[in-house]
Every structure is written in C-alpha cells, then in structure tokens.
Amino acid sequence: MNENGNRNAPRPTVFVVDDDEAMRSSLQWLIESVDLPVECYASAEAFLEAYYPGRSGCLLLDVRMPGMGGLELQEYLRRHEITIPVIIITGHGDVPMSVRAMKEGAIDFIEKPFNDELLLDAIRNALAVDERQRQEQTLRAELAACLATLTPREHEVMDMVTAGKSNKEIASALGVSAKTVEAHRAKVMDKMKASSLAELVRMSIMAKQ
C-alpha cells in the first residue's frame, strides 16, 4: 500500500500523520498486521489535502512536526466539527503538550517508544468510539427528521407527555378535551416512531442534549 492509501476504502481507516518516515513505516506494518486499513501522511497538510469529512476511522497524530503541528491539526479539526477520534503519539519531552491535547478532546496518548499491544488496544478503542459517534449522529439525524413532522400543537403535547403530565392535565393546560389530547398523543407516537412512552421520553432527552 502506498503512502497516500486508497481514498475510497470502505472500511474504517487508521490515518497516521508523522513526519518520521521510519516511524510511519513501522506503524503501517503494525496496523496492517492486524488487518486494519491504514493511510500514512508525512505532514498535517498532506493529511488535510487527502482527507474528506465523513470518512470513518481514527487519527494517529504526532505532536511535533514541521509546518502545522499535531495540536494545530487537532484544533483545525475541532474548529471544523470533524469528530474523528485522535490518538496522540508523543516523545517523553512532549507529555505536557499531550496532556493539553487530551484536554482538547484527544482520546489517548502513547509515548515513544511504545508497546505494540498498548497502541493496538488504543486504536481499537478509538475505532469503537468512532462507531458509537456515527451511530449517535445517525440517531440524531433520524430524530430531527421525525421532530420536523410534528405540528406546533403536537410539539406541545409531546413536551407535556414526556414531562409526566396526564391527558387530563394536558387538556386543562391547552384548553382542549382529553379526547383531543389522546388523538394528538397518538399522532406524536406514530410520527416519532416510538413504541412506548419510555422510548418517547428517551427521544425527548436526546433532542434536548
């Protein structure tokens, strides 16, 4: 596999950004040894030129590089709301910098020289985090689409229902009959594709997060 990798790789990919050619080769060999796709880049700029938002995977990022450093790349990704999980690779002198990167959202940092299994465990964890994030993004998109189908009155009913109000209390608050509330409630359950009140409550909580 060449250093630019395959842009159209369908599987989650480990993106390695390190200016040390020997380190890139070593990391590529290690990652491919456990059957994970990997793409290597000698600079942050080269990675940004090749990467497009939406690709699944994780980023293995060196802190100190010529040009844009690891922390600058991490800040760029955060600023552009690119949520790919970041693992920082660091030399001993860079530990305080790596702690700062963790505070900025990196999920792990690995010191050089690193233990292979420790690094692979960190990569597997980062890929699992990426998968969870993507599932949550999908759920949020589906939830937003369902919420968009509700009328203003149905939104009111949903808010009250999920706050624990009874049909009678909702009817009194809205100045309508309990039967009308029941009809709105049924439409809300149908449009939200909720199979139970508990599920509707979970949706309401997620929508407000």
Looking at the chain, which residues constitute the CATH 3.40.50.2300 domain(s)?
13-137
pLDDT grade for 128, boundaries at 50, 70 and 90: very high
Q: Which residues are paired to 110 by β-bridges?
A: 89
| Cis preceding-peptide flag for 113 (omega within 30 of 0) | yes
Residue 149 confidence (pLDDT)? 93
Tens-digit pLDDT profile for residues 137-178: 888 889 999 999 999 999 999 999 999 999 999 999 999 998
C-alpha 12, offset from chain centre:
13
pLDDT grade for 92, boundaries at 50, 70 and 90: low
C-alpha 195, offset from chain centre:
27
Calpha distance 196→199 (Å, rounded): 5
Q: Is domain 13-137 annotated with CATH 3.40.50.2300?
A: yes
pTM: 0.72
Whole-angstrom CA distances from 110 to 50, 91, 98, 129 are 25, 9, 9, 17
pLDDT grade for 37, boundaries at 50, 70 and 90: very high
State both tokens at 30: 């290690």
Looking at the chain, which residues constitute the CATH 1.10.10.10 domain(s)?
149-208
What CATH number labels 149-208? 1.10.10.10
Residue from 148, 137, 145, 150 nearest 190 by CA:
150
